Chain A
């Protein structure tokens, strides 16, 4: 399915984008959080979603993975409407999610955290675990440790590694550098850059750290009050434009 030609394209969404979020309303339970959110992630590109705390960025990601329902609008992944799919079917379609706050299975070991995801599907090779670990060598000596005992930075690396084991085409990263010591931030940035360059992955990145985000991104979207207030290509973006939008 493709978007009907009649629908006016929102800024920051193109027909050939790998992921298109089209005029989505959503929220938690009975609380509405998102109002007509549209954004696109270009193929083999990175879209950076920015905005202050509490404007609905994480809600957008959770709605894209299917943990929250979209009440209106569509989510189109690689030309297919996935709005009604369950989270695990979206994961199988190639969407991987690295939630905020470095979530993990705390009582499983690091190794089990990766294996449980690989074993959940028949089509995922065991070698995917080694590939993910090669990207984050710091995890290798910790494989038999329960994941709940890792430091924040280690847990964040584990969370990204777990997402990569599913061999995704789209990676959703929710503030991967938040509250992490600077040298690990650099490692995570390098990893994201490397993934984008070599693995042919498309990435939707929620990030407060504007410089880093804009350096990597082809596309950007800025949210406020549950709406996208500005979106477009980063190429030719005036210096300080986004920063002004984010200013309190």
Chain B
């Protein structure tokens, strides 16, 4: 029982991190059918934003303040990077998913090298704020505060996204464009504006995910690649652009990973999860949640 509970917590904790990275991807993927391979590097940029704030701006004396500020700032850094990418490259490659994949992969490599040039190749450590040190033990399961914080962060992010999509005019526009781009354009919705805003928010969420990553260990220029594949799996299994699907998929993948890892070992568990996904996609190639989507032309 204790094992069951502790693996449950580990699974949920993995799921929360996955979901945090995948949320932004769900946005950009659903909106523009664009596979943004540089999304992982936006996560990395968010992580280094935290690092810079802590080491260069505030120093080690104000770790908590630096950490608190890094959340909005990382959102901004990720968002602006996403905007630049959208404006310079992605919007010119509309309707060419394969080219976009290659181009954004190239951008991802460039950003990794840039990080290496600025911060050096070795990993660096970001101090967690003191209020996140330690943890609590409930029913024999020890739960570090950092892990609980990340789960909380995902919940807050989900609530914010839900509010944006269902209550604000800009969110309504975004849903309209996702569901029927041609009809939205023909009804006077400036679709390029909506695309840009979507990319800003999606990439900003990657930046926030980067802040969370700093709580889990040291950070390096290639940290994005550790997350991007799993995050893509979440997006694909969940159904492209489907928030509900992504949530279910992230939890399922996190839990499957945690339990399989306990019964076997880390690499075998990973292989088993991939195998499960392959089988799943044989039966439901569109993912968990499917939306009817069509164009006019």
Contact = CB atoms under 8 A, between A and B. Distances in A.
Given A108-B172, A108-B179, A116-B173, A99 B189 contact: no
Interface string B156-195: 0000000000000100110110011011111111110000
B188 A92 contact: yes
A88 interface: yes
Which of A67, A68, A115, A148 gathers most chain B CB within 10 Å?
A67
Contacts of A194: none
A105 B179 contact: yes
A105 B176 contact: yes
A142 to B, nearest CB: 18
Nearest to A120: B189
Given A65-B186, A91-B186, A121-B188, A108 B297 contact: no
Contact of A117 (B175, B179, B189): B189
A106 interface: yes
Contacts of A157: none
A105 B184 contact: yes
Contacts of A97: 186-187
Contacts of A162: 187
Contacts of A116: 169, 172-173, 175-176, 184, 187, 189
Contacts of B291: 106-107
Contacts of A108: 172, 175-176, 179
Contacts of B292: 106, 148
Nearest to B296: A99
B186 A87 contact: yes
Interface string A127-157: 0000000000000000000001000000000
B67 to A, nearest CB: 37
B182 A105 contact: no
A86 interface: yes
A54 to B, nearest CB: 16
A87 B179 contact: no
Interface residues of B, number: 22
A107 B165 CA distance: 12
A62 interface: yes
Nearest to A107: B179
A96 B227 CA distance: 45
Contacts of A166: 187-188
B176 A88 contact: no
B188 A104 contact: no
Contacts of A163: 187
Contact of A103 (B169, B172, B180, B188): B180
A105 B189 contact: no
B31 to A, nearest CB: 14
A71 interface: no
B187 A117 contact: yes
Nearest to A63: B297
A28 interface: yes
B179 to A, nearest CB: 5
Contact of A67 (B169, B173, B185, B189): B185
A119 B188 CA distance: 10
Contacts of B185: 66-67, 86-88, 91
Contacts of B172: 108, 112, 115-116, 119
Q: With a 10 A CB-CB cut-off, give which of A28, A96, A105, A166 has the most chain B CB atoms.
A: A105
B173 A105 contact: no
A65 B188 CA distance: 10
Contacts of A62: 296-297
B182 A87 contact: yes
A98 to B, nearest CB: 9
A166 B187 CA distance: 7
Contacts of B191: 88
Contacts of B184: 105, 116
Interface in B277-297: 291-292, 294, 296-297
Nearest to B292: A106
Nearest to A103: B183
A121 B190 CA distance: 9
B246 to A, nearest CB: 16
A88 B184 CA distance: 8
Contacts of B175: 105, 107-108, 116
Task: Across the A-B interface, give the 4 residue pairs with the lowest CB-CB distance, nearest first.
Answer: A91-B188, A87-B185, A119-B169, A67-B297
Given A67-B185, A103-B180, 7 more contacts: A99-B186, A104-B183, A105-B180, A108-B175, A108-B176, A121-B188, A162-B187
Interface of B: 169, 172-173, 175-176, 179-180, 182-191, 291-292, 294, 296-297
14 contacts: A68-B297, A103-B180, A104-B180, A104-B183, A105-B179, A105-B183, A106-B292, A108-B172, A116-B169, A116-B175, A117-B187, A120-B173, A120-B190, A166-B187
